């Protein structure tokens, strides 16, 4: 009799794990990838919040039954490996979650998560080095995940966006497959500044809500949005897009159900970034224009919730751009016009020696400047290296050095439209306004409807007191890109100076909502 009881107990114990496993499979596995990128060599200093936020969220997700793979300061190869591991862990019926905190960039109406070793100078570089959020969600969907959640805290002003006059603030709307829930830490095409603490307001509010037992994921994110908006006094309004087709809670209402869930230890990938030497990108022949792609209509199942934007985007920006009547170029003195096409290697005014000692000292050990200078020393005719070094100089405030590099670039390629535009902008900053105007006009002659050159010339006219011409340039730029923050703010200033108080205040308020740093940026250009 005792033998029979012992056998019964043994068989029961052997069958129990299988029963729990079947229950887990029916409920669907929970897998997550959590990334916090803080140490970007191109940034002035490391970000303070991404790593702390990623660690706290990873710990919470583990408690909620997720199999968590966590990564910190991942370079491009490490990020791609991490996403491959995530895809391999997804099974039909899975819940798959992605959290990314760091720098993000929108390009071609898609949002890209940026590795710490990214070398981004032109639009194609974003697609080469970044990880597309839409691609990630599409892959998770193809692997059978029924619930796909993306939490992206990357609406920061990043060091790549002005290299040198191409700028797309914030993140783009997402076209996600069914069963997706996407949340950005800020509204579309807007950026926010860190609150100065060790943790972001976004993740702090998020953790409060996902810990509520039985609270649906969509409701938890909506509550997070409300919490962030209130705490920031509406300066930061997160954006949500949902097409969930089934209920999902981070913490089930029954603690017993949560206890049955397998909680694997996280796999922590702390692969260090590639050495700085890899920051030297291969030369390319041309620098493509920034494309303005038409927005894609969202599927009917997707519900989008965000703060209203100042102006609706045109349905077909490319077609609209062809119809725009550009402001006529302003005449330049004949003696300057004669110089066009015969630019010498010497700067028009000033030289590299005019850059202040502090700037030159900071650039002396800059690894990007060093690598580009080495390339130029080996091949003085490397126009691409000269152009990129000019961009670095300009972004660091070494304006006379930048002008000289753009001079040399144009000498090697008299049709380099971006070099003309960038030199126009730098000359505007140093108050070489007549020469700057010639550059902007030439850029627009070579590439009509070039939005960056319109924006540059608008700033030039603003500094020169030509408010009517500035408004015309900014208007033309905003017809092509309604969210171009610098044109919005510049037009607002020009309108105020022209006596259009209400219109000017609307432009300035909208621009400051998209980019809280825009006032400081224009002050750096000498415009208040």
Ordered per-residue pLDDT tens for the chain, 528 residues: 455 555 554 555 444 444 333 334 435 699 999 999 999 987 878 999 999 999 999 999 999 999 999 999 999 999 999 999 999 999 999 999 999 999 999 887 889 999 999 988 877 888 899 999 999 999 999 999 999 999 999 988 887 776 666 555 678 888 889 999 999 999 887 888 776 788 999 999 999 999 999 999 999 999 999 999 999 998 899 999 999 988 899 998 764 444 444 444 444 444 444 443 333 333 333 333 333 333 333 333 333 343 333 333 333 334 433 444 444 444 444 443 333 333 333 333 344 457 767 777 777 777 778 888 999 999 999 998 899 899 888 888 889 999 999 999 999 999 999 999 999 999 999 999 999 999 999 999 999 989 889 999 999 999 999 999 999 999 999 998 887 889 999 999 999 999 999 999 999 999 888 888 889 889 988 898
Residue at 13 is within a domain = no
Residue at 275 is within a domain = yes
Write out the two tokens for 394.
Answer: 């300009």
Strands (E) across 118-225 are located at: 131-132, 147-153, 180-184
Q: Which residue has the tokens 């969210």?
A: 483
Q: What is the pLDDT of residue 453?
A: 93
For residue 154, what are the domain limits? 29-305
Q: What is the pLDDT of residue 2?
A: 56
- CATH number of the domain to which 118 belongs: 3.40.50.1460
Same domain for 78 and 162: yes
The DSSP H or E segment spanning 100 is strand 95-101
Hey, what's the torsion of the CAs at 215, 217, 219, 222, to 10 degrees?
140
Residue at 5 is within a domain = no
Sheet with 104-107, strands from edge to edge, namely 104-107, 110-113, 131-132
Residue at 6 is within a domain = no
Q: What is the pLDDT of residue 4?
A: 57
Task: Assess contact for 385 and 376: CB atoms under 8 A.
Answer: yes
Q: What is the pLDDT of residue 190?
A: 81
3-class secondary structure, 488: helix
DSSP 249: B
SS3 content of the chain, % helix, strand, coil (to 5): 50, 10, 40
Where a domain ends, among 305, 340, 371? 305
Q: What is the pLDDT of residue 253?
A: 78
Residue at 313 is within a domain = no
* Helices marked H in 74-216: 76-89, 123-129, 133-142, 201-210
Where a domain ends, among 241, 276, 305? 305
Find all residues with CB under 8 Å of 40, minimum gap 6, and list them: 46, 47, 102, 103, 114, 116, 118, 158, 159
Degrees, nearest 5: CA angle 288-289-295? 120
User: Phi and psi of 109, rounded to 5°?
Assistant: 65, 25
Same domain for 168 and 134: yes
Same domain for 364 and 291: no
How distant, in Å, are the alpha carbons of 138, 511, 512 from that of 487? 35, 9, 12
Same domain for 113 and 53: yes
Sheet with 267-269, strands from edge to edge, namely 267-269, 67-72, 30-36, 95-101, 147-153, 180-184, 239-242, 303-305
The CB density around residue 216, as the number of other CB atoms within 10 Å, is: 15
Quick one: which of 506, 510, 518, 471 has its CA closest to 491?
471
Same domain for 91 and 235: yes
3-class secondary structure, 439: helix
Q: What is the pLDDT of residue 165?
A: 63
Same domain for 301 and 186: yes
Same domain for 201 and 168: yes
User: In 479-503, which positions are buried (b, 16+ CB within 10 angstroms) versus exposed (e)?
Assistant: bbbbbbbbbbbbbbbbbbeeebeee
Same domain for 478 and 400: yes
Same domain for 344 and 221: no
Q: What is the pLDDT of residue 397?
A: 85
Write out the two tokens for 128.
Answer: 């080469």
Same domain for 259 and 116: yes
Residue at 362 is within a domain = yes
Residue at 312 is within a domain = no
The count of structural domains within the chain is: 2
Where a domain ends, among 249, 272, 305? 305
In the structure, how many helices (H) and strands (E) does the chain have?
Answer: 21, 11
How distant, in Å, are the alpha carbons of 173, 175, 176, 486 from that of 299? 12, 8, 8, 32
Residue at 431 is within a domain = yes
The CB density around residue 358, as the number of other CB atoms within 10 Å, is: 9
Same domain for 347 and 250: no
Task: Assess contact for 372 and 392: CB atoms under 8 A.
Answer: yes
DSSP-assigned states of every residue in 348-402: SS--GGGS-HHHHHHHHT-HHHHHHHHHHHH-TT-HHHHHHHHHHHHHHT-HHHH
Task: Assess contact for 110 and 154: CB atoms under 8 A.
Answer: no
User: Phi and psi of 474, rounded to 5°?
Assistant: -65, -35
Same domain for 394 and 345: yes
- CATH number of the domain to which 351 belongs: 1.25.40.10
Q: What is the pLDDT of residue 194?
A: 72
Write out the two tokens for 155.
Answer: 């609406």
100, β-bridge pairs: 35, 152
Task: Assess contact for 306 and 236: CB atoms under 8 A.
Answer: no
């Amino acid at each position: 009799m005792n033998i029979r009881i012992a056998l019964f107990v043994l068989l029961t114990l052997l069958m129990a794990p299988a029963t729990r496993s079947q229950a887990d499979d029916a409920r669907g596995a929970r897998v997550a990838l959590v990334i916090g990128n803080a140490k970007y060599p191109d940034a002035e200093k490391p970000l303070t919040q991404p790593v702390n936020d990623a660690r706290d969220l990873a710990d919470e997700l583990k408690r909620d039954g997720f199999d968590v793979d966590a990564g910190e300061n991942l370079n491009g190869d490490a990020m791609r490996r991490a996403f491959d591991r995530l895809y391999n862990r997804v099974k039909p019926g899975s819940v798959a979650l992605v959290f990314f905190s760091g720098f993000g960039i929108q390009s071609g109406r898609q949002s890209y998560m940026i590795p710490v070793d990214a070398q981004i100078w032109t639009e194609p570089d974003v697609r080469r080095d970044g990880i597309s959020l839409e691609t990630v969600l599409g892959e998770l969907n193809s692997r059978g995940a029924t619930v796909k959640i993306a939490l992206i805290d990357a609406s920061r002003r990043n060091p790549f966006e002005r290299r040198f006059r191409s700028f797309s603030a914030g993140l783009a709307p997402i076209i996600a497959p069914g069963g997706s829930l996407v949340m950005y830490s800020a509204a579309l095409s807007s950026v926010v500044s860190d609150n100065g603490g060790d943790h972001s307001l976004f993740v702090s509010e998020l953790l409060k809500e996902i810990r509520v037992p039985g609270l649906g994921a969509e409701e938890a994110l909506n509550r997070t949005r409300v919490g962030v908006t209130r705490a920031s006094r509406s300066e930061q309004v997160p954006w949500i897009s949902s097409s969930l087709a089934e209920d999902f809670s981070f913490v089930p209402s029954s603690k017993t159900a949560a206890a049955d869930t397998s909680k694997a230890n996280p796999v922590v990938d702390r692969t260090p970034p590639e050495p700085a030497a890899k920051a030297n990108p291969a030369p390319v022949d041309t620098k493509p224009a920034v494309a303005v792609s038409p927005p894609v209509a969202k599927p009917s199942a997707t519900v989008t919730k965000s703060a209203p934007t100042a102006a609706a985007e045109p349905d077909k920006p490319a077609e609209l751009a062809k119809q725009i009547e550009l402001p006529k170029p302003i005449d330049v003195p004949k003696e300057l016009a004669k110089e066009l096409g015969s630019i010498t290697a010497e700067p028009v005014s000033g030289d590299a020696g005019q850059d202040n000692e502090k700037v030159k000292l900071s650039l002396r050990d800059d690894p990007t400047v060093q690598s580009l200078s080495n390339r130029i020393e080996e091949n003085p005719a490397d126009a691409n290296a000269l152009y990129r070094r000019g961009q670095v100089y300009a972004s660091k405030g070494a304006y006379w050095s930048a002008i000289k590099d753009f001079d040399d670039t144009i000498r090697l390629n008299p049709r380099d439209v971006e070099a003309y535009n960038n030199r126009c902008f730098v000359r505007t900053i140093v108050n070489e306004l007549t020469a700057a105007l010639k550059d902007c006009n030439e850029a627009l002659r070579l590439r009509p409807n070039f939005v960056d050159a319109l924006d540059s010339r608008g700033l030039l006219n603003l500094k020169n007191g030509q408010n009517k011409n500035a408004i015309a340039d900014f208007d033309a730029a905003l017809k092509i890109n309604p969210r171009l923050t610098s044109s919005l703010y510049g037009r607002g200033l020009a309108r105020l100076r022209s006596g259009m108080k209400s219109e000017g205040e609307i432009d300035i308020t909208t621009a400051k909502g998209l980019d809280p740093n825009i006032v400081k940026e224009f002050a750096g250009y000498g415009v208040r």
